[in-house]
Amino acid sequence: MTTIERGPASAAGAVAISFLGAAGEVTGSCFRVDCAQARFLVDCGMFQGGRDADEKNASALDFDAATLDFVVLTHAHIDHSGLLPRLTARGFRGPIYATPATADLAGVMLPDSAHIQEKESEWAREREHDRRSAPRRAQGERRAGHRAPPEPVADALPLYTLADAERCLRQFRPLAYDVETDPRPGIALRFRDAGHILGSAIAEIRIGDGGARRKLVFSGDIGQPGRPVLGDPTPVPDADVLVVESTYGDRLHKDLATTYDEFAGVLARTLPRGNVVIPAFAVGRTQEVLYVLADLVRLGRAPALTIFVDSPLATRATEITARYAPILDRESRDLAAWQARHRDRVRVVFTESPQDSMAINEIRSGAVIVAASGMCDAGRVKHHLRLNLPRPECAIVFTGFQAGGTLGRQIVDGAAHVRLFRQDVAVRASVHTIGGLSAHGDQAALLGWLAGFRRPPARVFVVHGERDTALGFGALIRERLHWPSVEIPTRGDRIPLA
């Protein structure tokens, strides 16, 4: 057992929350709770996008990781789980509580993320090496007629390695929805279905006993009710302290019927002469796109389809999703049964090897190609864009948020040319954005979930939204629900709960 200086919050009954990420922004979810019974994290996510993300990831977790007793992980998305291997590398040895599906998804996503970290650090070292040796070499060649030896590069270390990720995965402790466990004496933890991605959870944490007992609720990411594949977010009746996300707290999504109409239109217009390329995040979005496509065929609104899923990570995630059929919604179980009887109508080809992937390049029309990454800044989708973007008879369909600075954002914003593999590629394909598949609940969905509380939480913290969105959503909670205390924390805030 570790003995820790827990600071002023260690007084009996006192609890403090530190907002280490996703405060005034959407990525880097990480909240530390200090109380007399324990010190723990809820989520340990990576910062993504934006110029300062690398720096924030490197400087995150600037406390003694060995003093943590446990971690609660709400879901597998990298902006919630991506720094867990770094936490392990920095000395954390305690259990990581997550639902069984989240643990399985993390089992493929964290090693994949480690691989990306290692590759990026390799590239950074090469670039740095070229930068340092190029002028010296020119000088050396002029003076002595030979190449100067390269200098070693000390920085650009990976955030973590594959070995760190594998060690971290051994710390996972699966906990099913609606089952209570005691991570430490005097602390009870229970997960509720958040309806966001497979395995996603709302965390209910009770601290203390008797009159001093307090209930903290962390929403994690809340899904959009009525979406395919997943259940709806579970209402939570009460909390003393609520930490709630606000990603889309300022807008309403188009409904699913519109999404179906738009998809059907693109398929009908494009497939006779061209291909449809769908950049999609491997976990969650790929499975929803597959659902919608199969459903359109079942409903007679699309012809028989051949769909290529060209992402090994998406293939793994789709296998895991199929294994968890019992926790998916009834519609997706019905559709899976229909598909099993009509394999000729919806042919899904999962490509594994680079050779299989390249074979798709020969196809000129009639193919639907689903590939990662969702924002087109990496992965096999870039090859499919290089071949299909210049062809006016093809279509590119975006189904998710495209962050500023990504290739996906340039295409959505109407660029006439983009750079791909150091080549200038003309954009002549039709470009579509279909918005009804968001994994995050919109404003109405978030307010709907909040309305499930039977009494106002004493303290509410709005997180996981751009600052203006979080501020606006906070104001809306005060106005519509009349809750007494709604705060929008900033990264680094440590807030004692009296």
Q: Which residues bind Zn ion (CB under 5 A)?
A: 77, 221
Measured from the CB atom, is 96 or 346 closer to Zn ion? 96
Measured from the CB atom, is 15 or 73 closer to Zn ion? 73
CB of 94 to Zn ion, least distance (A): 23
Give the residue closest to Zn ion by C-beta. 77
CB of 46 to Zn ion, least distance (A): 12
CB of 125 to Zn ion, least distance (A): 31
CB of 180 to Zn ion, least distance (A): 24
CA distance 12 to 35: 8
Measured from the CB atom, is 260 or 449 closer to Zn ion? 449
CB of 302 to Zn ion, least distance (A): 29
Q: What does R_g of the chain's alpha carbons equal in angstroms?
A: 24
Measured from the CB atom, is 77 or 316 closer to Zn ion? 77
CB of 316 to Zn ion, least distance (A): 18
Measured from the CB atom, is 77 or 190 closer to Zn ion? 77
Measured from the CB atom, is 48 or 318 closer to Zn ion? 48
Measured from the CB atom, is 112 or 221 closer to Zn ion? 221
Measured from the CB atom, is 274 or 400 closer to Zn ion? 400
CB of 224 to Zn ion, least distance (A): 12
CB of 200 to Zn ion, least distance (A): 7
